[in-house]
Amino acid sequence: MTMDDAVRTGGSAWAARDAVRAAPLWLRIAFPALLLALIVTMMGLPQLLRTVAVRPYIPIANMTGQVSGTYVSTSGGLAKLYPYPERLGSFPPGAAVAAPATVLRVRARQLSEQRLYYLTTYAGQHPVPVAYKTIDRHTLELLPAARLAPGEYVITAARDSADAAFDYFYFRVR
């Protein structure tokens, strides 16, 4: 008698148990093992995705052809920063090194309100005063009120999408 037969005929739980015992041994071992592997993988997947090494910036020659992104000026030109979808617990190694008198530029298909783009220090999350300059309907510059002191910084920018979330961009000044 199979488990389906036991359930269909109103059989007892004992009949269903006997049907499970009648299953081949490899199936009785493989199914729970696969289920356990799936559960463990799904529980660890978000942490694994957060620890994947990515290059925190890409050097670019100029803004020609750039549709969206967040950029800082460096000694070698411009650097397009990698967008992180959440604040990081540790500052990313290899982050772009910006000039102390840097200009921060945000390009998006659709810019949001200026207050949704801001600069903070990484360690204390202290706001850094900036002046906003709209270049065109796709480009916004954040101009720090004073030269940036050596340290680690985070640009928080409204995500270029309809989900009203933020992206975080990391860079340092030496």
Task: Specify the fold of 57-173.
Answer: Immunoglobulin-like (2.60.40)
**Extents of the domains making up the chain:** 3-50, 57-173
pLDDT (tens digit per residue) in 49-91? 555 556 789 999 888 888 889 999 888 889 999 999 889 989 9
pLDDT (tens digit per residue) in 62-72? 888 888 899 99
Spatial distance between the Cα atoms of 142 and 161, rounded to a whole number of angstroms: 20
Instruction: Summarize the confidence of residues 39-46 as an average pLDDT.
Output: 71
Residue that the structure tokens 């940036």 belong to? 148
Of the pLDDT bands very low, low, confident and very high (cuts 50, 70, 90), residue 35 is confident
Tokens for 173?
């000044």
Of the pLDDT bands very low, low, confident and very high (cuts 50, 70, 90), residue 10 is low
Spatial distance between the Cα atoms of 122 and 117, rounded to a whole number of angstroms: 15
